Amino acid sequence: MKIKKLTALLLAAAALLCLSACGNGTGEGTVPATEGPALTMAPEVTTEALDEWGRPVETDGIPETLRFDGETLKILSREDSKFRWQLDFYATDESGIKVNDAVYRRNERIKERLGIDIEVTERPGSYNEFDAYAAYITRSYSSGSGDFDLAGTYSIYGARYATNGYFENVYDLDRFIDLDRVWWNSTFRDDMTVNGKLYFLVGDMNLTTLSRMLVTYCNKQELDSRVSGLNIYREVIDGGWTIDRMHELTSNVYSDANGNGSADSGDFFGIVSTAPSEAYDGFGVALDIGLIVRNDAGEWSFTENTDRVIEACEKTADLYFKGVNPSYFDSLDNVQTMFANDRALFMVMTLDKSTESIITDMKADFGILPLPKLNADQASYYTVPQDAFNLISIVRGSTHTDMVAAAAELMSAGSYQTVTPVYFDDVLKYRYMRDSESGQMLEICRAGLRMDFATVNTLSLNDSGRWFRNTMHGAKENAGANAAVGLKLFSRTIGSYLDSFVGAYN
């Protein structure tokens, strides 16, 4: 594989925004503040030609003379009333909304360049509807009807169909798809390749990988009122934003704000989130505890670092449950309302919520931080897109595979060139961020975005990608103690699942 330029920009594909730091309320306890100079970002020195966003110019390798006049690219997309999943693929027209218009113009350029039309079919495809969605793919493939060429699937539900024969092996399409280019996610490519086969694409056209990224929202006003002189951004930059530090800030701030004598949504908490999904799904990766790891020979196996897994469970249990009502879990709408109404220091949530009016209309200053590290020795901050993001596949048996492959390459290249920077730089950083440091936090979040093998393939691997979630949600404050027993049981069975999974790829 070629070495990438700009790995931090590899993913790019998006759908929402990120914000900044935290503060305010009436809880007890004072936490020592950290101080440091103002954050600055030194410009990179380069002699390469740069685009308008300061990145080296990247052009695609599709021949300018390549034409498929009169053919139609047929796309199957998951339906959504907020147009979250569809925006990876198309926009109906120009509306004055920057990201929408950038996607629309990208597709218009592709249609003109290749001489094709683009037709999108939408079907309900959320987690509780995906079996019907998959059945639609099965019927279309089995009948040879050619209803669609390119399909987006709900990541963890779609991944289990990798070996059913419905999708093309992307490596067989390398005449036009170049997975070494900056607009394809090399981490996803490397981790999801099994026995030389890869049935899904993730790159800049997958805007949902960014929109579903799990991050830490922070109420700066509430935090500043409790910790004089705190510079939470400096703590992140210096590597000190750990799960212990987050617990230190949240464990004793609870206040019975409505005075009814019980902990409920009218009170003030350190952290709010939804459980078991958003509250836990990012922490397994953020604390760097992959349960299934790949050795130098390329073989997958159960981790030997069980001590770290147990420690991560213990620290997450402390964060959410140790202290005086440090956290509160509720429905998505209630959680956002609590955070927007200054009833929490932090909210663990997906990035897409940051562009919704209930958050953007907050009177208090707010922002985004990465998820915390396990300890200061951990090399980087990490996160994952929560599991609803799109995987994109090329349907097998198409009569015009070259056209589909060329169009897919141009869609991701075009997104890298004009969609991702509009979304990330023009929209997220400058429209929604309330301070310049928040943009730097966004870059840290994106640079640490991982595509976890166990999470994507969880339904084929004994729910391995949700082991951390299930352990935390089931045992709560006792999760650390239960983890040791749970790991032993899990280790006895995962080998057979891995053997079957790899065998299916053979």
The DSSP symbol for 368 reads E
Establish if 339 belongs to a structural domain. yes
Q: Do the beta carbons of residue 204 and residue 420 sit within 8 Å?
A: yes
Q: Is the same domain home to 174 and 97? A: yes
Establish if 62 belongs to a structural domain. no
pLDDT at 12 over 50: no
Of the candidate ranges 172-176, 276-280, 401-405, 418-422, the one whose mean pLDDT is the lowest: 418-422
3-state secondary structure of 330: coil
Establish if 472 belongs to a structural domain. yes
Q: Is the same domain home to 346 and 309? A: yes
Q: Is the same domain home to 178 and 149? A: yes
- Say which CATH number the domain at 328 has: 3.40.190.10
356-384 mean pLDDT: 94
pLDDT at 16 over 50: no
Note the pLDDT of residue 437.
Answer: 83
394-418 mean pLDDT: 95
Q: Is the same domain home to 372 and 481? A: yes
Q: Is the same domain home to 380 and 391? A: no
What distance in Å separates the CA atoms of residue 238 and residue 233, rounded to the nearest whole number? Answer: 9
Q: Is the same domain home to 411 and 324? A: no
pLDDT at 113 over 90: yes
Establish if 49 belongs to a structural domain. no
Structural domain range at position 83: 72-210+387-447
Q: Is the same domain home to 394 and 482? A: no
394-421 mean pLDDT: 95
Report how many domains make up the chain: 2
Domain end: 429, 447, 465, which one?
447
Q: Is the same domain home to 354 and 432? A: no
Establish if 2 belongs to a structural domain. no
Establish if 177 belongs to a structural domain. yes
Establish if 480 belongs to a structural domain. yes
Q: Is the same domain home to 358 and 298? A: yes
490: enclosing H helix or E strand: helix 479-505
pLDDT band at 432 (very low <50, low <70, confident <90, very high): low
Write the Ramachandran bin of 160: left for phi over 0, alpha for psi from -120 to 50, otherwise beta: alpha
Note the pLDDT of residue 433.
Answer: 58
357-368 mean pLDDT: 91
Tell me: cis bond preceding 276? Omega within 30 of 0 counts: yes
Note the pLDDT of residue 228.
Answer: 86
CA 374, 379, 381, 387 dihedral sign is negative
Establish if 25 belongs to a structural domain. no
Q: Is the same domain home to 300 and 185? A: no
pLDDT band at 13 (very low <50, low <70, confident <90, very high): very low
**Kindly report the CA angle at 408 between 413 and 178, in degrees rounded to 5?**
65
Q: Do the beta carbons of residue 186 and residue 10 sit within 8 Å?
A: yes
Q: Is the same domain home to 420 and 484? A: no
Q: Is the same domain home to 376 and 487? A: yes
pLDDT at 315 over 60: yes
Structure tokens at 444: 């840290």
128-146 mean pLDDT: 92
pLDDT band at 430 (very low <50, low <70, confident <90, very high): low
pLDDT tens readout for residues 38-87: 444 455 555 679 998 888 999 999 999 999 999 999 999 999 998 999 99
Q: Regarding beta strands 214-219 and 327-329, do their DSSP bridges make them parallel or antiparallel, or are they unpaired?
A: unpaired
What's the pTM value of the predicted model, to 2 decimals? 0.88
Note the pLDDT of residue 235.
Answer: 97
